[in-house]
Amino acid sequence: MFHNYKFKNLDIKLILAVIALTIVGIFVIGSANESNQQKQIIGMILGVIVMSGMTLIDYDFILHFHWVYYGLVIALLLAVLIFGDDAGGATRWIEVGVRFQPSELGKILLILFFAWFLMLHEEDINKPKVLALTMVLSAIPLILIEKEPDLSTTIVTMMIICVMMFVVGLSYKFVGIVLGVTIPSILILLALISREGQTILKEYQGIRILAWLKPDKYPQNSYQQQNSIMAIGSGQLLGKGLGNDAFDSVKNGNYISEPHTDFIFAVAGEELGFVGSALVILLIFFITIEILMIAKKAKDVSGKLICVGMATLIGFQSFVNICVVTGLMPNTGLPLPFVSYGLTSLVTVYFGIGIVLNVGLQSKNNNGRLF
């Protein structure tokens, strides 16, 4: 199995960056909610073990089970809707001894499935029949995720698939048509949602957008983001220090609910300051670019697509999370990869990184363009 591997190509820089970002997350989680720090450490250890194992398994062999992955995603998402646990008005988790969020694993498995599917249809990706089939295969899991409801994960998953389609050769003309329809539609949607009594989105989704657009009018729904912005600003250059007991701390005053999960970046901003926040962003950026560099040297299209899918997941999801915490987007409820508390999210993203590392072990010399 190892005869195609070039162990000198093992991306140590990527491994160190991933571990460094996770350690930063562990320290910040400990400051935000000490009771969860130990669990996150266990998640990191488990994640490193999973990543190490996946690094040694040939991704060509992994892709042989493409339909199994797709079927498993559908089965898990259906199980969530039927047997899942409700929390905060959403049903996104299953109890299997531990609390497990299938949509997090689903993103990785869909990357694997579409890496195979789009490689198979590289030459005819722009044919109407293939585009229609791709849309149907994408729509089924996306609809199931949205039904939980989890609109933010739906958008991230859709973005991953779209970027993979673009990389494999989707026509610029088709991309232009989609953007030409999507951008005006979003503007019209925002205009309609801003009206009282809208029925386009679920009530809580509409309120989240209205609270973002008009925070003064919806203080009960916008306080999370407003307090988050205040926390980041109060950190100034070097922050107030991890685990501080400052009386003016937004975190210590419990002004941010669940600060160890979706709003972990606000805690990092307050306690580590601009320097610490910049370090988190730079590590995320470095990890994303490093994965794209592996994509550049991948031996085949499927390997390239796996890397592009993972880079999109980490880069786009991080971008959305940080935009939410800083008030640039409506509240969405997405974790910050490697940093937010959550064993499902942490272990599954390590799982994906392991496959990326395997792509790198089988890379070829490529001095040309990225894609």
Task: Kindly report, residue by residue over 54-108, the tens digit of the pLDDT.
Answer: 999 999 999 999 999 999 999 999 999 888 777 655 677 787 767 788 899 999 9
Question: Is the pLDDT score of 123 beyond 70?
Answer: yes
Per-residue pLDDT, 4: 78
pLDDT at position 275, please?
Answer: 95
| % residues pLDDT > 70 (the chain) | 87
Confidence of residue 221 (pLDDT cuts 50, 70, 90): low
pLDDT given for residue 205 in this prediction: 65
Residue 103 CA to residue 347 CA, distance in Å, equals 13
Residue 331 is predicted with a pLDDT of: 80
pLDDT top residue among 178 and 308: 308
Return the bridge partners of 85, or none.
93
Q: What is the per-residue pLDDT across 241-276, written as a single tens digit (0 to 9) for each?
A: 887 777 667 776 677 777 888 899 999 999 999 999
Q: Of 27-36, 48-57, 190-199, 204-213, which gets the smallest average pLDDT?
A: 190-199
**Which long-range CB contacts under 8 A does 41-45 form with residues at least 24 apart?**
42/343, 43/342, 43/343, 43/346, 43/347, 44/19, 44/346
Question: How far is residue 171 from each of residues 27, 120, 125, 304, measured CA to CA in Å?
Answer: 45, 17, 8, 18
CA gap 193, 199 in Å, rounded: 8
pLDDT score recorded for residue 272? 93
Residue-level pLDDT at 350? 98
Report the pLDDT value the prediction gives residue 301, as an integer from 0 to 100: 96
Query: What is the reported pLDDT for 369?
Result: 46
pLDDT of residue 6: 86
Residues 131-156 pLDDT 10s:
999 999 999 999 999 888 788 899 99
Burial 135-151 (b: 16+ CB within 10 A, else e): eebbeebbebbbebbbb
The region of weakest confidence among 28-37, 42-51, 129-138, 184-193 is 184-193
Residue with tokens 């199994």: 68
* Residue 149 or residue 350, greater confidence: 350
Q: Report the pLDDT value the prediction gives residue 370, as an integer from 0 to 100.
A: 46
The pLDDT assigned to 312 comes to 97
pLDDT band at 371 (very low <50, low <70, confident <90, very high): very low
Query: In the structure, what pLDDT confidence band is assigned to residue 172 with cuts at 50, 70 and 90?
Result: confident
Mean per-residue pLDDT, 174-188: 80
Averaged confidence pLDDT in the chain: 87
d(CA 293, CA 54): 19
Query: What is the pTM for the complete model shown?
Result: 0.90
Over residues 180-197, the mean pLDDT reads: 72
Q: CA of 318: how far to CAs of 186, 272, 342, 355, in Å?
A: 21, 18, 15, 20
- The answer to whether the beta carbons of residues 308 and 289 sit under 8 Å apart is no
Between CA 338 and CA 25 the distance in angstroms is 7
| pLDDT value at 202 more than 80 | no
pLDDT at 304: 97
pLDDT at site 14: 97
Bridge partners (DSSP) of residue 99 are 95
> Tokens 């994408």 label which residue?
138
